[in-house]
Amino acid sequence: MPESDLSPSPRSIALLLVEGFPMLAYASIVEPFRAANILAGRTLYRWMHVAIPEVRDTDALQPARASNGAAILAEARIEDAAACDMAFVIAGGDPAAFADRATFAALRRLAAAQLLLGGVSGGPFLLARAGLLSGHRCTVHWEHAPAMREAFPDLMLEEALYVIDRRRMTCAGGTAALDMALELIEREQGPALAMKVGEWFIRTEAREAGLAQRPSLKDRFRTTDERVLRALAAMERAVEVPVSRASLAALCGVTLRQLERLFAKRLGSTIADTYMAIRLDHAAQLLRATSLPVTEIALSCGFSGSSHFSRAFKRRFGSPPGKARLKAPETH
């Protein structure tokens, strides 16, 4: 961030809340700035809310509704954000399906006005759609990352909690938004205040921006056996076109019988069942995070048809893919 941005004067923030935005990510962004004001004993930050997409055939401002049903009344329109110092696009659901051209044009105008532009959770996807992440390092919530890589193969997309690259700030969402907000407070107001704000929110240890968003394979599967971990990593890399059990064994430098024994001992499961669970978990992720047709999701997870996929999905999760999509929670 440029040195000219380091200033003790009040900083103005526009919170651009996309319909269905995740409440946790929103709170994790705005609450640190509120706490900074209280702990500093003066107004360091001001903010305003903008509901996205806007209703443009009326002068009335509509509320922005979060994924949990709560509504926040907008006080401003997106063009008013041009007078702010920074703006955060906070989005959840399926950001790949957001296609409001007027919003993208407004975001480009904010960038031209030299605002610090941030994307939170699915928000980076909207910044990318607006053409505002080209040439910048960036991140996005891990559920949205596969679709974002496919849509924008040239982006410098990282699996980080957050990335601040010049005048672009992107964040995975959830509690990672708290980490990014604290980083901004430290840059602008100094480490002492940032530490006090962290303590306010029971943050006992700082998390570096580049930390992984998800637990490691070792933690997720609770094994330290390098041969099993090597096979699991290969499974996660090859979801759309599954590799054979024999190929996995060769990759791990053991026979197929030995690898089956290792899986039974370390994971309490067979190779085939573990691989199926990985593919179905990925399918559930796509159902939550995208609006892709069920048939397309089935093919992308290595199933030859939707009927086989639906049966396997129901065995694992207790309901067919269609119903799973209808009740999918917004968690980030």
Q: Domain boundaries in the chain?
A: 3-200, 217-326
Residue 247 and residue 235: Cα distance in Å, rounded? 11
Domain 217-326 bears CATH identifier 1.10.10.60: yes
pLDDT on residue 3: 40
Residue 309 and residue 17: Cα distance in Å, rounded? 35
pLDDT on residue 204: 86
Query: β-strand 63-65 against 137-138: which pairing, if any?
Result: unpaired
Residue 196 and residue 32: Cα distance in Å, rounded? 10
Indicate the pTM of the whole model. 0.79
Residue written as token pair 């407004």: 106
Residue 90 and residue 122: Cα distance in Å, rounded? 7
pLDDT on residue 326: 56
Distance of CA 157 to the CA centre of its chain: 12
Q: Counting every residue, how long is the chain?
A: 332
Rg for the chain, CA atoms, rounded: 22
pLDDT on residue 71: 93
Residue 44 and residue 69: Cα distance in Å, rounded? 30
Secondary structure class of 19 (helix, strand, coil): coil
State phi, psi for 202 to the nearest 5 degrees: 55, 40
Which of 64, 62, 55 shows the shortest CA–CA distance to 25? 64
Contacts of 149 (CB under 8 A, 6+ apart): 155, 157
Which of 295, 310, 288 shows the shortest CA–CA distance to 97? 288
Query: β-strand 45-52 against 156-157: which pairing, if any?
Result: unpaired
Distances in Å between the Cα of 223 and the Cα atoms of 218, 228, 269 are 5, 8, 13
Residue spans of the chain under pLDDT 70:
1-8, 56-59, 326-332
Residue 159 and residue 247: Cα distance in Å, rounded? 28
Which of 134, 146, 169, 154 shows the shortest CA–CA distance to 96? 146
Q: What residue type is assigned to position 94 of the chain?
A: D
Which of 251, 254, 219 shows the shortest CA–CA distance to 235? 251
pLDDT on residue 58: 66
> Which residues on neighbouring strands pair with residue 71, listed in sequence order?
65
Architecture per CATH, 3-200: 3-Layer(aba) Sandwich (3.40)
DSSP states of 216-242: -HHHHHT---HHHHHHHHHHHH-SSSP
Distances in Å between the Cα of 216 and the Cα atoms of 132, 197, 213, 224 are 31, 29, 9, 11
CA angle 249, 305, 97 (to 5 degrees): 100
